[in-house]
Each structure stands twice: as C-alpha cells, then as structure tokens.
Amino acid sequence: MPVLLSNGWVYLVIDMQNDEIFQAVQEILKTTTGVELKRLRQKEAFGKSEGLAVSLEYPHKLPDGAENAFLKAEVKENLTPASINNLFQKSKESPGKIVLITRQVTPQQADRLRELNIPFGDTAGNAFFNEPGLYVFVAGKKTLMVREKPSRAFDKAGLKIVFALLTEPDLLQKDMRTIADRARVGSISTVSDIFKDLEKQHFLYQPGKSGTRKRKLNKKRELLGRWVEGYIERLRPSLNPVRFISRKFEGRWWDDVEIKDYNAVWGGEKGGELLTNHLRPATVAIYADSLLPRLQAKYGLVRSKQGNIEILEKFWTGGAESGDEAVAPPLVVYADLIATGDERNLETAQMIYERYLAELTKGAA
C-alpha cells in the first residue's frame, strides 16, 4: 500500500525521461490552480525500487469520507487525436485512472479529454482534474514550448521496422539485411540508425560486439502504443489511401467479396468484424499492392472523398497472423479502429488487443 504523506495527495506513476515537460507542468499548475505535483521515488509511494512517482497535492484538505485516488501518469511530448484515442484505450487496460502530462492541450482536445474523464495538465496551465474534493478545468491557454519532430524510430521507415519487430519476434535476432527486407525499408543503414534511436529511448537492448546476449525489446506495451499513434498520424496517410463508393450496389455488398481473389486483405471495421464477430461495418478498408482495377470494375467503384470504401497500399510482408488470410495483421486492424474514435470500434479494438496483441507485449515490460 502507498505511504500516506499528507491529506489529499494522489500518487502518480510516471516515466521521467521527459523531465522538461514534467517540470514545466509542475510549475504552471501550482501557479494557476494551486494543485502541486511533488516528485517521489516510487519506493516511497509503492514499495517498489524501480522508477519514480509524483504526488498530486490538493490546494485544500479532502472532505470527510473522501479517499485518496491513485493515478498512473502518461507523459506525451505532442498530443493528437490519435494519441487521445490511444490513451483512452490504454486507460481501459490500466488498473487505475491515467493522468496526461503534455506540452499543449487545445480547447478541442481539452473538451474531448474531459468527455472521456481523463485528467491532464499541460505546460500552458490548461488542466482537468475531477476527483473527490477536487474539480479543476482550465482550457484555451497557449504554450511557448516548441513542438518536437518525431524521432527516427517513429518516422515512416522506423514505424515499418517497429511493426516488423513487434509482429515477428524472432526477426529481432536476424541480420540487418533480413530485417530491412522484411520491413520493406531497403537500406541496412536505416535499420542501424533506427536501432540506435530505439536504444536511446530504452525500447531496445543491444549487446556489445563481443557480447553473447541477444537483442531485446523493452517497454513493449508503450512501444506498441507509440506505434499505433505514429501509424495513424504518419505511416497510414503515406499509403496513398483512396476512397470509393459503389454505383452498382448498396448496403453490405462487401460481404460477398472474396478479397483473397484480389490478393488483398480487409482492415478497418471489416477486419474487426472478421477477427471478433462484434461489428457490423459501415465502412471498409482494403490493403493491397494496387488500387484493384478488377474489383473497381466488378462492383462499380468510383472515387469519392466521402466514400465508405478505402483502398491503401499494403506495407508489410508475411502472411496472416490471425489465421485468417483475408484479414490484415491484427495490429493494423487495431490501429485502424483506434483512429476512428468511435465507441463501438474502440470496444472491438479492445477485444483484438486482448485476443491477439497482449501476448506481443509480454516480457521486458
């Protein structure tokens, strides 16, 4: 059990790698709201020797009968709709409520976070806390902190490599050429640079030249979450997505399509339906190596920005990890569903995570 240090303190587990953001949020929250973050060693609060924690001290004592809350902190350099959706999904898997610490929360993002009941604080002084004896909501302030570019590990090439490593665990021990080919990045130097960046961020352990130990992925759940956000924001838009509508058919005509006959696979809501039997898709995503002219001709597909059929370039190699050769890898389907922010799709994404992805994150958490 945590050690009670004072009335009205909430203990937050926090990754302190981005200390600059935390310190800025710590200072501005105390000034603007009276809420004070105090850093502790995790052992003081949780009896564990690794990691750090912070306490959140209310500007007043808790009312009689109110209990201290226990929150897990997530530090995000940059906040996007994809990262909010991913954070909400992660909160479902977390044993306690998550609090967001980030550079900047826009008014629209603040409303969305409040709607999802996710506490947050940013470097401009925007904040939301809704705990027993404490309600804070501040939005609309702007920060002077500069938005950083994504690291090499989470640019388009890096995302392809991380995907291959997450979905093919044995690939990590292969030579650089094999990894480059499987990830479709071509260059051995690209793999080497991205490995160095993953190592710098403590996602990857690499033994020395004379060492006998193997490479190892660390913080796999966090790495998977970072991949999902990067895929939605950077890699997916680069897959030349094109939307279509059918001029010949209405309704769920895609249920009669044998997608394997076109050397393609289902992603998105259709992929989610096939993996879980939990959705009735209103839109479908198809991953292929072309825009499928035969499929377009047979089903009368014409381009439309508002179309409910989307065709994207397939970016991975290998077969069906789920056992269904008509479906994209579960991690791709999971990310497609997270991107929508739709409640039903998020429920389906959670089912996919539990059935297919949780196993990928085990070990070196």
- What Å distances lie between residue 199 and 174, 210, 225, 359, CA to CA? 17, 18, 17, 22
Q: Answer with the residue of higher pLDDT: 134 or 216.
A: 216
Would the pLDDT of 51 be above 60? no
pLDDT of residue 149: 66
The pTM assigned to this predicted structure is 0.78
For 109, list phi and psi in degrees, rounded to 5. Answer: -65, -35
Write out pLDDT tens, residues 289-315. 999 999 999 999 999 999 999 999 999
The residue-averaged pLDDT of 268-272 equals: 97
DSSP structure string for 63-116: PTT----EEEEEEESS--HHHHHHHHHHHHHSSSEEEEEES---HHHHHHHHHT
Find the range with the poorest average confidence among 18-27, 38-47, 98-107, 190-199. Answer: 38-47
Is the per-residue pLDDT at 150 higher than 80? no
Chain mean pLDDT for the chain: 83
pLDDT in tens, 334-347: 999 999 989 899 99
